Amino acid sequence: MTSELKKVPIPRKGVDYRGKIVLAPMVRSGELPSRLLALHYGADLVWGPETVDRSMIGTTRRYNPDTKTIEWTRKPSQGSSAPPGPDVKDSIIYRVHPEKEAGKLIFQIGTSNPDLAVQAARLVAADVAGIDVNAGCPKPFSTHDGMGAALLKTPDKLCAILEALVANIVPEFEIGISVKIRILETAELTEALVRRLVATGIAGLTVHCRTTPMRPRERAIRGQLRMIANVCHEAGVACVMNGDVGSRDEALQLIQEYGVDGAMIATQAEKNPSCFRAEAEGGPLPWADVVRQYIQYTLELENKFGNTKFMLTQLIPGKSPVYRDISPCKSYTRICEMLGYDDLMERAREVDLILDIDPGNSGKQKNKKQNAVALAASGQTGKSRSVTSSTKKNLSERGTQMPSKEPASEVAALPA
């Protein structure tokens, strides 16, 4: 479709957004286990959650041999000007899986300052496949400092940010820069903005087909989409659409209909990331199959329990008895007990101890049989390979370290 059109050159370690069905950047729902789940079910690229520039600046990059991830960490401020004590655990600001996300991860940055954007991007650019500027999120945590959708009202600043990233990040790290926006009140205003953005040297532009005041429950507006795609193509920039895309097959249909290059899935991917499976491959899977795969990833990655619990409330239907039984659980052990994952119990207990969680707290063992029946009714059959390691260390021996030289397979220029 776009093979004869002008194209911005793709940097050597970057990605071409054309022909891609991708996972949208989502706070909480875009953490590492969720991204791996989307890739597992066929997402072509994944966006990490918006990460504010100031939160990245000052972090320490380190390799975690137990989870095989790269982490950017810092000491929490704990609301005090005094430095934290030596026993205070580092907070993980961002992490990637350099093997499973290689060439497929896009780091989305929240910023309103060109210099800070470059400083933050430089910290992670060697480990991702692209840097994306968030100029579309309408929520206060993003717009309060002139970031997110607030940048749509300050196009000079937005262009300066993109130009700074293109000038400083692309030559050094050989990855592309992109931006995610929303449509404006009129087609004329949107066109004027897009023409300025594609002239900055970016490789891709994603447009969420809603205005800033609109919310997900309101239907996406696609009347401006073909115009936006045409403006992008004139400049050789890939155009990705976002808004009310529910599956891979629907995405491909919309790409053809509106002449865009790719499509981004958000809400449906949060509910059931197997939506990235084409109908020819069997289409989306039952939620129970997806939940099991998700739990396996969270145990492999020793994911923060609060995030896992939140995602389970998205993946498990609210009317299911399993949803109600999962709600009071406060440990991985209890989660696996409720879901009938006997083969994962040993690993679940180990992860609980690693995360300083009491494996025995809060849960209703009496409903284990009932939940197993519910899972079977939802389409879960058989038991997947358990998440174990033949070389697990004693808890006292575990710890994150930064080796003098990381394995080549784990330092390849990434994803996001």
| Catalytic residue set | 137
List the Cα angle 187/192/194 in 5-degree steps. 90
Pairing state of beta strands 69-74 and 60-64?
antiparallel
User: What six digits make up the tokens of 132?
Assistant: 């994306």
Q: Would you state the torsion angle of the CA atoms of residues 204, 102, 111, 271, taken in this order, to the nearest 10 degrees?
A: 90
Q: How far is CA 38 from the centre of its chain?
A: 9
Q: φ and ψ at 98, to 5 degrees? A: -65, -20
List, in sequence order, every beta strand (DSSP E) within 97-203.
105-110, 130-135, 176-182
Type and span of the H or E element at 208: strand 204-208
Residue 71's beta-bridge partner residues? 62, 95
What element of type H or E holds 45? strand 45-47
Spatial contact of 39 and 199, defined as CB atoms under 8 Å apart: no
Q: Assign 3-class secondary structure to 310-364.
A: HHHHHHCCCCCHHHHHHCCCCCHHHHHHHHCCHHHHHHHHHHHHHCCCCCCCCCC
Q: For residues 235 and 202, what is the distance between their CA atoms, to the nearest angstrom?
A: 10
Beta bridge partners of 264: 22, 242
The tokens describing 256, both together, are: 């053809």
Q: Which residues lie below 8 Å from residue 376, measured CB to CB, with a gap of 6+?
A: 288
Burial class (CB in 10 A: 0-12, 13-18, 19+), 39: buried
Interior angle at CA 155, CA 154 and CA 161, nearest 5: 100
Q: For residues 174 and 356, give the distance between their C-alpha atoms in angstroms, rounded to a whole number.
A: 40
DSSP-assigned letters across all residues of 255-268: HHHHT-SEEEE-HH
Phi, psi of 263 (to 5 degrees): -140, 150
